[in-house]
Amino acid sequence: MRSTMMVLAAACLLAGCNQPADEQRGAGQKNEPVNVAQDVAGAATGVATGAVGAVNADAFVRDAAIGGLYEIESSKLALEKASSPDVKAAAKMIIADHEAADAKLKQLVDGGKAPGPLPTALDERRKGMLDNLRGASAKDFDDRYLDQQTMAHHEALLAFNGYAKTGDNADLKAFAAETAPKLEKHAEMVTKLDRSTTADDEAGANQPAKPNAVGKAADEMRH
């Protein structure tokens, strides 16, 4: 409960610091509002509800699959649009780990050890978050991606750790317990990257994140 409140408090701070802005989303979607605060608030709602829905196998499979789809799609965007090499390196690791986890989840469902079918599309909240990333300017993209990843991984950790402890399907509990440490490493890395870029912005230095802090985070992710 304490960790949930801390994450929600962080979300409130982020929502207060990021005001809505009208930006282009791409071809055919010009001049539509891109609301960073709404994204963060939506992710915070997901954090609060994720811990509750983690005990039911059907809900866990749905949330894990949709969360994995979002992580992969948002990180593919980061490979295209991120400015920082460290952010791109984090995105590559997130894609690889989530594709592996999604493959294991699919094996459980296909083998009749977990309820299916797996969802193949994102929910409306995560579709909105992807639209937000697509609409980010080159200057804003890295921070926006890291903000979303920080909240999304805290949400995923609550769901996976919760199901690993109290889930109703032994095979899914094992899957959740096996996957959670990788999610924890992702959360630590994107949080460190986010803090590094935020610190630079607050100092008024328009320079890449400090290499020592970012490099250390990347090394920890690789091991």
Please write the tens of the pLDDT for every residue from 100-155. 999 999 999 999 999 999 999 999 999 999 999 999 999 999 999 999 999 999 99
Residue 12: its pLDDT value, please? 40
Question: Which of 36, 41, 52 lies closest to 1, judged by CA?
Answer: 52
Residue 39: its pLDDT value, please? 47
- Give the C-alpha distances (Å, rounded to integers) separating 209 from 77, 83, 94, 206: 20, 11, 19, 9
Separation CA 55–CA 156 (nearest Å): 13
Residues 196-220, mean pLDDT to the nearest whole number:
43
| Mean of all residue pLDDT scores within the chain | 76
Beta carbons of 165 and 142 less than 8 angstroms apart: no
Separation CA 51–CA 74 (nearest Å): 23
Please write the tens of the pLDDT for every residue from 29-76. 333 344 444 444 444 444 444 444 447 999 999 999 999 999 999 999
Beta carbons of 29 and 69 less than 8 angstroms apart: no
Beta carbons of 82 and 144 less than 8 angstroms apart: no
Residue 100: its pLDDT value, please? 97
Query: Domains in the chain, start-ordered, CATH in brackets?
Result: 32-187 (1.20.1260.10)
pLDDT band of residue 158 (cuts 50, 70, 90) is very high
Separation CA 17–CA 26 (nearest Å): 25
